[in-house]
Amino acid sequence: MTTYFGFAIADSMFPAECTVRRRPLTVDQVRLALPGAVMCLNPSHWPTIAAAIKRFWLPITIPEHAPIVRLCPGDSVIVMSVRGLPRLEGRHEYTEQEIEAAEFVFSQWTVLGHEPPRSASAADRTRAV
């Protein structure tokens, strides 16, 4: 069971058929999980990563290249969503005030298992048209 940490999830991370559980995490829960997590961060997002480190003292390391993530049952990805940081135009870092005003939300997405393919009922096929 592997835990990843990143800023987003993508459909390609998950098996084609699976059940996923999403649960919110506190900063303390994230801080405890990060030392054993695989970082799947894009190094070009350094200013946002630095903002999280400054605000929460999170033990985030930045990979040279973001890995390709393929989740299996039991694996999870901790996602840090950030709202309220302005675009950096003509500068390379956020101010203390911008970091404090931003909203950081953490959630963990866990693959519980594979679902067998199921055929659509006649009613489902009709609704899809």
pLDDT at 115: 60
Read off φ and ψ for residue 104, nearest 5 degrees.
Answer: -110, 125
CA pair distance 47, 85, nearest whole angstrom: 10
Q: What is the DSSP letter of 18?
A: E
For residues 111 and 14, the answer to whether their CB atoms sit within 8 Å is: yes
CA pair distance 115, 82, nearest whole angstrom: 31
pLDDT at 118: 55
Q: What is the DSSP letter of 80?
A: E
The count of domains in the chain is 1
CATH code, domain with 87: 3.40.50.11170
What is the pTM assigned to this prediction? 0.81
Q: What is the pLDDT along the chain (129 residues), one digit of tens a residue?
A: 999 999 889 999 999 999 999 999 999 999 999 999 999 988 888 888 899 999 999 999 888 887 889 999 999 999 999 998 888 887 788 888 999 999 999 999 999 977 655 554 544 434 444
For residues 111 and 15, the answer to whether their CB atoms sit within 8 Å is: yes
Structural element, H or E, at residue 78: strand 76-83
Token reading at 126: 């009709």
pLDDT at 122: 44
Which residue range(s) make up the domain with 34? 3-128
